[in-house]
Structure 1
Amino acid sequence: GVDVGTGSAVVVDIGGGSVELTVGSAAGATLTRSLKIGVIRLTERFRASDPLSKRDDRDMTQYVTEAIAEPIAQIRALGFDRVIGTSGTILSLGALASGETRSADDEVRNLRVPTKQFRRVREELTALNLTERLRVPGLDPRRADLIVAGAVLFDTILKALDVSEVTLCGLSLREGLALDYIHRNRTKVAKVEQYPDVRRRSVIELAERCNYSAAHAGQVARIALSLFDQTVATHGLDRQEREWLEYAALLHDIGVHISFARHHKHSYYLVKHGDLRGFEPDEAAVIALTTRYHRRATPKKTHPGYSDLSPSLRRTVRTLAALLRLAEGLDRSHGQSVSDVIVSPVDDAYFIRLGAHGDTELELWAAQRHVAPLEQVLGRPIRFEFLGRTAEPLGPPPGRERPSEAPSVAESSGS
């Protein structure tokens, strides 16, 4: 870009369909005008001959002069310190006007070029036919057919502005819009950098809009994924379903944003209608239903939404919801007191050994209460035992206020 400092500048951006004239400073724009006299429009309207005839040159100049008369008068009344030229057309003309055989992509940005040099380029280009223009050193062959109209247009604007030089800028209106968007949406841009995957970013944004508990949701997700990975030989689901489970775990409690009572149903509604980007309708439905069944009732064919799924997806919901229900129970206190979950098949049962670094009485009670759906899915009874505890509890005992932050826990396998 070009630093205009404390002064005022006129920015000229020539496109195929229009010309943008802007007056402003570092603080912002004071005048913007868009004129439908782009190089494609002028070429189609006036260039009946090649090389450009003197009559077509004269008619095009007159047409442009009349089109820019009003905005140029306003610009001159406002006053300005410099003229900045942007866009591929102006950079190409600037490369030729600078008198060196370098392209517009080379070191022409921020270069100051006398306006008389653009007049010279105009006279040279209007005298050449297309074949001859294609051989001009430094001219992009892709612009050879439109550069004549661009030369006439830009020279006419410079003459009306009555300036002695132009500063070339490699950033045009398109880049300016992008930079303005970044400036106005720093939080969103930071979120894109933090979560480049649109699906994950969409889930996190929905969770944050609903003021979710990140520590609790993250703990439930880690436990759920660990349970998924260690029982995959039995349930047979793959990476896609694993991803759905993680997102459902992150979103399972967002219904509390509406009310705690029936928050599982509120979570279902928010996920279902939360405009999750990048998900197929069936995927969003599975995630929403998995959050719906993390507490209270288990899936039934009579339930709206669930009954609409195919048999295979209904089985997926039953499995994911059972895993999520148990994982949520293992952080019932929201204290993240369970540090490890080790699942071992022993004879006809599963033993789940829990590593703990705090009071897990409430977690054990909730796990035993909510394990039945997973036992049905896996076809085996499940028993719990502890691997041991640290001397000082890090999580809150049942009934105490939940902390806003909690210590990290071991990552689940494969997450």
Structure 2
Amino acid sequence: MENPELPSKSRVVGFIDIGTNSIRLLLVRINPNKTYQVLTAQKEVVRLGEGEFIEQTLQPEAMERAITVCRKFAELARQRQAEEIIAVATSATREASNKAEFIQRLKDEAGLDVRAISGLEEARLIYLGVASGVHLADRQALFVDIGGGSTEIIVGDQQQYHLLDSLKLGAIRLTTMFFLPDEKEPISPIRYALIQNYVRNIIVRTIQRVQPYKIDVVYGSSGTILNLADIAAHRFFKRKLEREDEITHAQLKEVIQVLCEANLEERRQIPGINPERADIIIAGAAIIDTIMEELKLPSFRPSERGLRDGLLIDYLSRTDQSLMLGQMTVRERSVLHLARTVNFDEPHARHVARLALQLYDSGYQIGLHRLGRWERELLEYAALLHDIGAFLSYQNHQMHTYYLIRNADLLGFDQKEITIMALASLHHRKALPSKKEPEFAALDKDSQTAVKVLGIILRLSESLDRSHMGAVHRARFVSGDKREVILEMFSDQDCQLEQWGVENHLEAFEKTFNRPLVVRVIAKSSV
């Protein structure tokens, strides 16, 4: 897989995390040696998920608040000469029925290309962010991140995660479920127990998955846990929270009791609390409290690091020197894990991927398309996965491949990338992409173009190894007379099946590129 070039000078990059409760910005200067300096870290509470979790729709006022903050953060990043802004959206956005509208408005009004990421991808990035800021040595940790709409749970050590999970539990989500909008009274023990019972039912399978692991230390991150720890520090340590503080479950229990016994206005006055969280903190507290009860965890350590830090670490890893040493990226690992799980034909898939990249690169050289490195990478992954649906049934296996890619929670990818790969794989046989397909129609124009181009290249590449024997060892596009495109197939053996296969797609090629295709077989001895 292609190695990105290492930059020769420092550059400024911004990272934006559009969460259910808050939006965070991290702006850093990255140096050629992979060191970096934080230029600024900003956070604004916008309550994007307010009122959403009943009807699964982002509310107009919440979207306006989020867009305003994103626009300001983007302007700040550009004023500081940011060359790139990486922006992701989590629970509130990914679950919203009007997600596409919100993401398009962020592009139009804030100039941001926002990726909605899955819960497991969110968990992976949180792990990267928190684990990169602590020294675990040979210990194994449980990471718990409680957001406004979801809770991510990870088990991992210093080098890698072993378990990722994402639960539809969050401070805003549970507050919406269990409290009225204008509720201000203290919370009775019975009411709090009801919330805990709900949480317990949701987390039961996650608890079962975590229990076999030896947990040496627990790290809690995100606003709810940090604020609970801050209250505990003021109450038990008589000072602000410090990095190495450890909060026991007994201390957490006492803090929760104090919070529940106070009405909303009294709660806002409790030392250490963020007044903006006073209305949602009890629901969030019930999540960490119940998790600690079920896993019998004696304490946790708060971490100020989280998703936005994980975005930085992930960005650095994509251009890290380790890639040049042949180590796989998380995207490669994720793709191969899915493919190998269903016992794919790896030699065939890798050969098709090589041929696809040859066609892609030569097509670019003759002006057949103007796609870039990002689409090239997606083509390679789609080629590796194009036949995995045969695991379920060879007949219409492209449909099964599409389903598996769309639903496998591939790590390291956002939802748009997964959709492009899935649709390209779907159309490597039979029909061409059509706006009658809702998922294709929902993509922006550039992404639709990518699906069309990647799909036809994948279709031709699959045909070039129709016999699964590697008969065609190289292929390329070259310009012919007038507007013709010539596909040269290099082979030193009989490749009649492959030639017939390619010729079956001449009409599809011309419909895609508006240029005719001519097939030419070139014997190895004549090269």
Q: What TM bracket, shorter-length normalisation?
A: 0.3 to 0.5
TM-score of the pair, normalised by structure 2 = 0.38
Query: Based on CA coordinates, which of the two structures has the bigger radius of gyration?
Result: 1
TM-score of the pair, normalised by structure 1 = 0.47
